[in-house]
Structure 1
Amino acid sequence: MEDIDNIEEDEYGFSRNYFLAKELGGSSKKSARKLSDINIVDEQELRETAFNIETKHEKEIDEILDDYKTKYPKWVFELRCGFGLLMYGFGSKKALIEDFASSSLTEYSVVVINGYLPSVNLKQVLLAIAELLSELLKSRRKSSGTPAKGQEALPSRSIDDILSFLHGSQSEDKDCFICVVVHNIDGPALRDSESQQTLAQLASCSHIRIIASIDHVNAPLLWDKKMVHKQFNWLWHHVPTFAPYKVEGVFFPLVLAQGSTAQTAKTAAIVLQSLTPNAQNVFKILADYQLSHPDEDGMPTEELYSASRERFFVSSQVTLNSHLMEFKDHELVKTKRNSDGQECLNIPLSPDALKQLLLDLSQ
């Protein structure tokens, strides 16, 4: 028994001395280094380095993407059946969804919402969708000989009024619908309950189909049972692409980079390269005008529409508005009224940065 007591006492003494030594050591030794002493890399340099990292396992990734492409007809069939498509899995799904839309949804009108942006104007998106649906139903009625109805979506209406218009628009043609692509429906600007409820009500319209992607592990917590099964009517598709989040990450500050809120030419080029060629060409017209008219408040919207239509970059004012909405969401273009009361469009970049941007786009 004495041996056991001695062993326990020795162990107690060792434990007490160990924690005492740790306490004394921790209080006497303090690091002289500070966070401000770290040599932080320039943000643009860090982004360029990250952007140019070579992708590994390209062959295997291409094989995975080719397998997804064989599923495109099935995805179209699911949309025609009234379901919404929800893409999840590791890697950016942006290029995959856009390839699906451009190759398999050519018979339908497609509206894109970039949920990864810091701010998204859902009312402007709904207005664009309402105008597009109104024109689509008019053309369908005209081709079928049915008298057109006089219901129109007006910019002065509220979100509830626009949703009522969308729900009230009916057509016997069940294959008449608009596809709404939402990149990162779980993005920072769309995570609030109001935005998700608005998107759910939009998805429940008979002439709307949603194709969306999610990346946040807690994204399903955004929806209740009714939203998942009754409104969005999701069909979940596991489509890991292993692609880097190059475009989606542009608007998020890098931990190892110096903070900068200025829109650089390089950042703008990355964003523009993710848009359609026609959208890029419209932006180039605006940029050229701004460089040749440095003393003006910007290019009048009507003038941009005329120039873009003459060069066949847009077919209607609705198309131009969708491009401008993307520019504004990405903070590439700002609007203001000149002394004559005209709405003018201005790119918030210096002339040198604008010239560099055009050079980057031409490469």
Structure 2
Amino acid sequence: MDFNAAEEEEFGFSRNYFLAKEMGSSGKKSARKLSDINVVDEQELREASANIEPKHQNDVADLINSYKSLYPKWVFDLRCGFGLLMYGFGSKKSLIEDFASTALAEHSVVVINGYLQSINIKQVIIALAEILWEQLKLKRKVSSGSLPKVQQPFSSRSMDDLLVFLDGPEMDEKDSFICVVVNNIDGPGLRDTETQQYLARLASCSYIRVVASIDHVNAPLLWDKKMVHAQFNWYWYHVPTFAPYKVEGLFLPLILAHGSSKQSAKTALIVLQSLTPNAQSVFRILAEYQLSHPDDEGMAIDNLYSISRERFLVSSQVTLNAHLTEFKDHELVKTKRHSDGQDCLYIPLTKEGLEKLLSEIS
């Protein structure tokens, strides 16, 4: 085949390709929707995924064991004041927990599982303060020194007071610290700005060290320059394990599964917990009305405003509209047109899901 023939053949192929694309795009668009897919039940899908036979188990185990040679260096980094941040493909839960249980056996360790949907960060900090207080009492008892009495229990102190206490006590041994292990510091239970700021302040305390893992590609966007370098003081380690996310995946909804009312209520609870108490109370009014009037098409906006104003939850229609905008943006509340032409509000949850949600937020 000469050069001209080859060039003509290539030109013909290119022309036919673009003609086919043009003809394909000129036809009618598909009317199929994502909701038309016949997805399976969530429990059935989880059971099927649990029965998938894992591959390369020996190679994965050898890779994770190879990181154990780094344990002494990681301990040295912690003693130097760094926080350890583990990243790379695969679950790092077993790796960092094994490191904490073996290499940090002489230190107190507190584990936070960020893959859980909701975490009470104050309870974690209270537990750390109580551990440090016990350590101080033990050391002062050995040295026969005096220790000032706690003026009030840690559970009744503010977050600022707790963090000041964790940063303040003087101990003789400079290598003594409490290690906070955070599985998935970028997880849904820790992802909000306020919690990340508390974790950063906690990491900067004198006798606190943080060992954490991240899995989301955008996880570093959670922190600003001060948090990374001055507070967390991260020492980054690339430790891909290729291990399956068995435990972490249990708490995440499956894309190919039907969303159950229990999962929807759990998602709604997470959103509500991020809103103000007044917004939560307005939502409660709507939820209680929907439960007590199951045959109604929804609650009239004017009716919701009157009750909310009587209970001093809103001062004007503008305030109520701001709450409703938040509800609608998070798909907590939807609007439908009543038979008389009036707009009504309703919560897209089953009766069981709504009752569970109200019991949780109370």
Shorter-chain TM-score range: 0.5 to 0.7
**Residue type of the partner of 2:156?**
S
* Structure 1 residue 189, shift from structure 2 partner: 2.5
* Structure 1 residue 127, shift from structure 2 partner: 0.6
The aligned residue for residue 116 of structure 1 is 115
The list of structure 1 runs, each at least 4 consecutive aligned residues, that deviate by more than 3 angstroms after superposition, is 14-23, 29-37
- SS at 1:140 equivalent: helix
Mapped to 2, the partners of 1:77 and 1:20 lie a distance apart of: 63
Describe the superposition over 1:15-72 as per-residue Cα deviations: whole angstroms up to 9, x where unpaired.
Answer: 999888556x43xx35464444422111112112222322212222122111101111
- SS at 2:156 equivalent: coil
Mapped to 2, the partners of 1:101 and 1:15 lie a distance apart of: 59
The aligned residue for residue 134 of structure 2 is 135
The aligned residue for residue 195 of structure 1 is 195
The aligned residue for residue 204 of structure 2 is 204
Mapped to 2, the partners of 1:32 and 1:226 lie a distance apart of: 50
- SS at 2:227 equivalent: helix
Instruction: Figure out how many residues of one structure are paired with residues of the other and give that number.
Output: 248
Indicate whether 1:40 and 2:47 are aligned.
no
CA contact (8 A) 1:203 1:209 kept: yes
Mapped to 2, the partners of 1:255 and 1:30 lie a distance apart of: 25
- SS at 1:78 equivalent: helix
CA contact (8 A) 1:108 1:177 kept: yes
* Structure 1 residue 103, shift from structure 2 partner: 1.4
The aligned residue for residue 250 of structure 2 is 250
**Residue type of the partner of 1:227?**
M
**Residue type of the partner of 1:59?**
N
Describe the superposition over 1:342-362 as per-residue Cα deviations: whole angstroms up to 9, x where unpaired.
Answer: xxxxxxxxxxxxxxxxxxxxx
- SS at 1:70 equivalent: helix
- Identical pairs, percent: 66
CA contact (8 A) 2:168 2:206 kept: no
The aligned residue for residue 75 of structure 2 is 76
Indicate whether 1:179 and 2:176 are aligned.
no
The gaps in structure 2 that reach 5 residues or longer are 1-15, 264-362
Gap change, CA 1:145 and 1:45, over 3 Å in 2:
same
- SS at 2:109 equivalent: strand
- SS at 1:112 equivalent: strand
Mapped to 1, the partners of 2:95 and 2:124 lie a distance apart of: 22
Gap change, CA 1:50 and 1:17, over 3 Å in 2:
closer
Mapped to 2, the partners of 1:125 and 1:262 lie a distance apart of: 27
**Residue type of the partner of 1:228?**
V
Indicate whether 1:57 and 2:38 are aligned.
no
**Residue type of the partner of 2:251?**
F
Gap change, CA 1:16 and 1:108, over 3 Å in 2:
closer
* Structure 1 residue 179, shift from structure 2 partner: 0.5
* Structure 1 residue 118, shift from structure 2 partner: 1.2
CA contact (8 A) 1:153 1:165 kept: no
Gap change, CA 1:20 and 1:237, over 3 Å in 2:
closer
CA contact (8 A) 1:131 1:153 kept: no
* Structure 1 residue 215, shift from structure 2 partner: 0.7
